[in-house]
Structure 1
Amino acid sequence: MKTKRRAAYFFTSLKLFLREYRLFVLLGCLCLLGGVVVGVLSARSFGEDYYKLNFIFELHSGSYSFAKTFFLALLFGWGGLALILLCGFNRWLIFPAFFLVAFLGYRLGLGFVGCLQPSGAGGVACVIFFYLPLYLTAGTVFIVYICMVFSSICGACGVFSSASSVKRLFFKALPLSLVFAAAAFFSCILIPLLYKLFFM
C-alpha cells in the first residue's frame, strides 16, 4: 500500500513537472535529438573510424581505462551542471545551456556510429549498456537542471541576484550529481568489468 502511494506521488509530481516546464523539456529533447542526428550524419559523411568509441574494442585492444573513462564522464557531467548554473546569470544564456544538451546528443550520435561500425551484436550491446544509460541520464539531468535554474531567474544578475537562490540551486544539483555518478559508474566501470570477467 505504501509502495503504491509512493508510486502515485512520483507520477503525479512528474506529471506536474512536465506540465509546468513543458517548453524547456521539449526544447531540450529536440536539442538532444538534433545533436544525435548531426553526430550520426557527420560521422558517416567524414568516413572516419569511430570504432575506438566502442568500449568492447577498447577492452580487447587493452587500451580501455576504467578510472579515466569514469572520471572524464564525471568531469563532463558535473562541469555541465556548473555551466548551466553559471548560465543562470542571464535569461539569454539559456542558449549555451541548450547547446550543451545538443553537444551531448552529438557525442551520442558519434557513439552510435562507432559502436555499430565494426560489429553487429557487440555494437548493439555497447549502445544499450554503455551509451544509452550514460548519455540519456546526462541529458535528463541537464534538462531538469535547466528547468530549475531558468525558472529561478529574477533581477539584473539572474539567479546570482540572491545568495540564497544560488545556494538553493547548488543543493538541488547534488541529487542530480549523484544520479549521474551512478549512471557513470554503471556504464564506465560495472558493465565493462562484467564484460571483461565473462567474455574475455
Structure 2
Amino acid sequence: MIKQLVLATGNQGKVKELASMLDAFNIEVLPQSTFDVPEVAETGTTFVENAIIKARHAAKITGLPAVADDSGLEVDALNGAPGVYSARFAGDDASDADNIAKLLQELGDNPSRSARFWCVLVFMKHADDPTPVICQASWEGEISLTPNGHGGFGYDPVFYVPSLDCTAADLSKVQKNAISHRGQALKQLAEKLKVMS
C-alpha cells in the first residue's frame, strides 16, 4: 500500500501536477527538497536512463518510493537534438531564452520544422526495484519561426501546435495538462499506481 512517494525534482509545478492527480488515491507526494536530496548527475544517453538514475537516487536517500521525470524536445531536422540535452542545449547554465535562441539559430530557415516533446516517468518502489514502472508519452508539433505566448516554460514559446493554431506557451495550464506529453504520461502513471495502491 503506497501512502507517500517522493518526486525526484525541485520543480514545484511538477510536484503540484502529480499531487493533484494522485490526491484521489490518498497518496501524498513530497518533493525531494523536503529531504535535502542533492541533485544527481544525469549521465544517461536516453530519457529512460536519466529518469531511472533520478528515481533510484531519491529512493535510496529517502527510503520512500520515488517518481522521476525526464523530458525534452526532439527536432527531426536536427537528427533528434536537443533530446536529453534539452535543458542545457546552449550550455550548462543556459536559460530558456538561450536554449530557444540556439534552437532557432540551428534550424535557420529550414522548411522542415516537425518536432515532439517526450516525457518519461519512472516509478520505483525502492532503490533496488528490479522492475521499475515506466510511462512515456509524446506531443507532436512544429518549431515556430519566432517565440510566442507567455505561459509554460522551456521551449513552449516556439512549440507550435497546428491543431490549436498556437504555441504551447499560449495555452492555459489546464489546456496544456490535458494534451501535453507530461499530462499523458501522468495519466498512465496514475492508472498504474491506482492498481498498486
**TM-score normalized with structure 2 length:** 0.28
Higher share of residues assigned strand: 2
Q: Choose between structure 1 and 2 for higher RCO, CA contacts under 8 A separated by at least 6 residues.
A: 1
| Structure of larger gyration radius | 1
**Structure number with higher helix proportion:** 1
